[in-house]
Chains A and B, each alone.
Chain A
């Protein structure tokens, strides 16, 4: 597609439930990144994929968070046993040229009630 697509755009879930957030990168972009932006903060790095493998997952806050990119294209961020503190905008970006070429999606606003 023309840009990075994230679905859903909004997600409201109850505390303790499982959620999946999807990212469709720009076609041909080998690198894919997930960031989280909490209220009043800048985007915080979560995980980076190069192809199918997670090259750096040092930003995942705990083992409730997991992400996959099985075919090197679409990625899914999975959050188990959601907590109210997980409420944030989850941003996905893709790139062909590393940090010089990030393109962000519009994000998924997750609200845990």
Chain B
């Protein structure tokens, strides 16, 4: 049973436009959410996170929005750049409980020239 769901396996966006990646979760105990980026043959690298006490966190071109009532979060990348082409994993955790991160299946983002 997938606790973290990324329903779009892939997404193509024109360079310079906004990329929006979506994620849903089912476990209401989750209180910390993360996005990881992964290039081929490399491990996932941390991108941005958000605590459940917030509804938005911004870091440069990356913004994560959290809608707790809908159990939904999204990652916005503006403007999209060629180097953003990668697989993006949404992940969630129960902070201060067991240090385990639950990942979604990932969304492959293609930035088109």
Contacts and interface: CB of A to CB of B under 8 A. Distances in A.
The binding surface of chain B is classed by DSSP as loop
Nearest to B93: A99
Given A99-B34, A100-B49, A48 B43 contact: no
B99 A99 contact: yes
B13 to A, nearest CB: 21
Given A99-B32, A100-B49, A104-B43, A41 B105 contact: yes
A93 B32 CA distance: 18
Measured as residues with beta carbon below 8 angstroms from the partner, the interface class of chain B is: 20 to 34
Given A91-B44, A99-B95, A106-B42, A56 B105 contact: no
A106 B41 contact: yes
Nearest to B46: A102
B6, B99, B103, B105, most chain A CB atoms within 10 A: B99
Interface string B72-102: 0000000000000000010101011011111
B45 interface: yes
Contacts of B43: 4, 91, 93, 104-107
A7 to B, nearest CB: 14
Interface of A: 4, 31, 33, 35, 40-45, 48, 50, 55-56, 59, 91, 93, 95, 98-100, 102-107
Interface of B: 4, 6, 32, 34, 41-46, 49, 89, 91, 93, 95-96, 98-106
